Amino acid sequence: MRILITGAAGFLGSHLCDRLLADGHEVIGMDNFITGRPENLAHLAGHERFHFIRHDISTYIFIPGKVDAVLNFASPASPNPESPYGYFNLPIQTLKAGALGTLNTLGVAKAHKARYLLASTSEIYGDPLVHPQREDYPGNVDPIGPRAVYDEAKRFAEALTMAYHRTHKVDTRIVRIFNTYGPRMDLNDGRALPNFLKQALLGQPLTVYGDGQQTRSFCYVDDLIEGIVRLFYSDEHYPVNIGNDHEMTILEFAETINRIVGNRAGIAFVPQGRSARDPQRRQPDITRARDLLGWQPATDLESGIRQTIPYFKEQLGLS
């Protein structure tokens, strides 16, 4: 297949390029480098089946030649309000990526009669009142809060994708991605794992907000990519959660990071300071992924963290 991957220079997009190239496909990577990093694709320079186009998907997209599939992974995704690359500081770009970008990429799929996969997110569930989160749960969201620029962009993108499927018969898929970690993730992403792992490697106390009883589930990137690819190859059109269903508190997670790294600086509890509507619990129900795709995460947390540490050390100049 000849496959277009938008957001190709991002954390997940670059791993997806690697996997689909390994599967024998030709890959056209597209990114405007607002949040994507050229070094994530540097190892593919000169690859005979990889081509790169620098482009903003919120403007019209033209791809010469036949396109068999489009995988749309382009969007700011960091919740870190202090990062210039997070969606708090790129609100308009985030909304345009979700709305205009999804419209334009669906247009490419429609024109080429290509398969289409949208990268959505667990954030469409908002601060959930149902636990764990199933795909048929409509969510508990705030459409005008500061996080809405990302949450509502993805909710609209899902609605638009299903509209193209129902109206234009585009062969679509939607993956709802839960917390993922691994090499190539942004150290300043703002999520728990990069924050904790960076602090631990630098010998600093791990910053835990509140009492640390809020929960998350963490999926290693190789497992996530396997789930996405299985969905891509499947015939399923409705959303599928892909993530690790092992839930743990943030405090337990911080203690695990310190133990693995050998950081004796401990934990520093600070006032909550959480952004508006930051979900208190997050755990996917992955029954559909198991039943439809035969998929479930295979990498335990300690193994995944140990595989991630060398990348973080390199980025921090510690290797």
The CA distance from 80 to 198, in Å, is: 15
Burial of 2 (0-12, 13-18, 19+ CB in 10 A): middle
Instruction: Tell which phi-psi region holds residue 27, choosing left (phi > 0), alpha (psi between -120 and 50) or beta.
Output: beta
Measured CA to CA in angstroms, residue 305 lies from 11, 115, 183, 254 at distances of: 16, 34, 10, 12
Contact 147, 93 (CB under 8 A): no
Q: In what helix (H) or strand (E) does residue 288 lie, and over which residues does it extend?
A: helix 287-288
User: Is 85 considered catalytic here?
Assistant: no
Q: Which residue has the tokens 């997070």?
A: 86
Q: How far apart are CA 81 and CA 87, in angstroms?
A: 8
User: Strand, coil or helix: what is 176?
Assistant: strand
167 CB-contact burial (10 Å; exposed 0-12 / middle 13-18 / buried 19+) = exposed
The catalytic position among 150, 164, 181, 220 is 150
Q: Which residues are catalytic?
A: 150
